[in-house]
Amino acid sequence: MNVQLIKELRERTGVGFGDCKKALVEADWDMDAAIEIVRMQSGAKAEKKADRTAAEGLLAVALADDKKSGAIVEINIETDFAARNEKFIAFVEKASSQVLVDGSDGIAEALEEERQTLVQEIGENITIRRAERLVANDGVIGSYLHQDNKKGTLVRLAGGNDEVGKDVAMHVTAMRPLVVAPSDVPEDVVAKERAILEEQAADSGKPAEIVAKMVEGRLRKFLAESSLTEQPFVKDPDTKVGKMLGSAGATCEAFVRFEVGEGIEREEEDFAAEVQKQLQ
């Protein structure tokens, strides 16, 4: 047994000692052939785990030195414990750096081989769920990543500076606006909300003209609560975000907010059934 070759293969592929030994034996101790075997095994193992729900994970944010561009990515894994694996963390950070340079198109394909290797090493399904890059023409990209790396935001400002960008990104992360301004709310969303409000107001038994005023007032409130510029600024609730931006000579053109696992249907675990299955 050539321990040095096993060690080298482990360093080059990141897989376990036992798997490296098996691959080298199968390849008659030829390094290139063993690497190919490991890659094929990684792909097979990754495919077997692909149908397992991965709703935990991490976000990563990368900003260019001049703050003119920024990237945010979400990569999922099955358990929060595995999300703290150093190699998983490094993989997420690498993905954000690559999106910053190359954009989000093709990021999953570009990192597929590394993803498969990591799946084999950690033993859990890993998915590159989503990624975005924002580019500022005459302003800055601001970012905020919550300390647990589970929630984060990129914002694109026209005008402003780094501090304002970070403040707006922090606000978006905390308050979850749907759009930048009321006029940005999609017409179908407005129509659906109006229908709900009309049904609620109709049950009040009040005259039609009063009902109409109630609906319009509540709709304006919905639009304001959904819009970044109309929300009270999280650091100064007496000031709306739009006014704060105006005072700083800035406007928000766009934002991207990610939260790990949002929208993913999580499987309910039946611990008792799992124990019984193992006993059988």
Last residue of a domain, one of 220, 235, 270: 220
Residue 133 counted as domain residue: yes
Provide the b/e sequence for 156-190 (b: ≥16 CB within 10 Å). bbebbeeebbbbbbbbbbeeebebbbbeebeeeee
Q: How far apart are CA 239 and CA 139, in angstroms?
A: 22
Do 24 and 60 belong to one domain?
Answer: no
| CATH number (domain holding residue 235) | 3.30.479.20
Segment 136-150 mean pLDDT: 94
Do 27 and 151 belong to one domain?
Answer: no
Last residue of a domain, one of 204, 220, 236: 220
pLDDT of residue 223: 94
Q: How far apart are CA 216 and CA 219, in angstroms?
A: 5
Model pLDDT for residues 31-83, shown as the tens digit of each residue: 888 878 776 766 555 455 555 778 899 999 999 999 999 999 999 999 898 99
Do 145 and 210 belong to one domain?
Answer: no
**Does 30 have pLDDT greater than 90?**
no
**Does 250 have pLDDT greater than 90?**
yes
Residue 247 counted as domain residue: yes
pLDDT of residue 271: 47
Residue 111 counted as domain residue: yes
Q: 7-16, 56-65, 84-93, 234-243: lowest mean pLDDT where? A: 7-16
For residue 113, what are its two tokens? 């081989």
pLDDT of residue 38: 74
Residue 271 counted as domain residue: no
Helix or strand holding residue 233 (H, E): strand 232-233
Alpha helices in the chain (DSSP H): 3-13, 17-26, 31-49, 80-83, 86-102, 107-110, 112-122, 162-175, 187-202, 208-226, 241-247, 271-279
Entry field: residues in the chain = 280
Segment 164-193 mean pLDDT: 95
Do 36 and 83 belong to one domain?
Answer: no
- Average pLDDT for the chain: 87
| Range of the structural domain that residue 214 is part of | 187-220
Do 239 and 132 belong to one domain?
Answer: yes
Residue 279 counted as domain residue: no
**More reliable by pLDDT, 30 or 223:** 223
Do 137 and 245 belong to one domain?
Answer: yes
Do 101 and 127 belong to one domain?
Answer: yes
Domain count, the chain: 3
Residue 213 counted as domain residue: yes
Residue entry with tokens 């198109």: 105
Do 252 and 170 belong to one domain?
Answer: yes
pLDDT of residue 46: 47
Do 86 and 210 belong to one domain?
Answer: no
Q: 16-25, 80-89, 103-112, 116-125: lowest mean pLDDT where? A: 16-25
Do 178 and 191 belong to one domain?
Answer: no
Residue 265 counted as domain residue: no
Residue 270 counted as domain residue: no
Helix or strand holding residue 255 (H, E): strand 250-259
pLDDT of residue 37: 77
Which amino acid does the sequence have at 26?
E
Do 89 and 215 belong to one domain?
Answer: no
Residue entry with tokens 């929060």: 80
pLDDT of residue 136: 95
Do 34 and 120 belong to one domain?
Answer: no
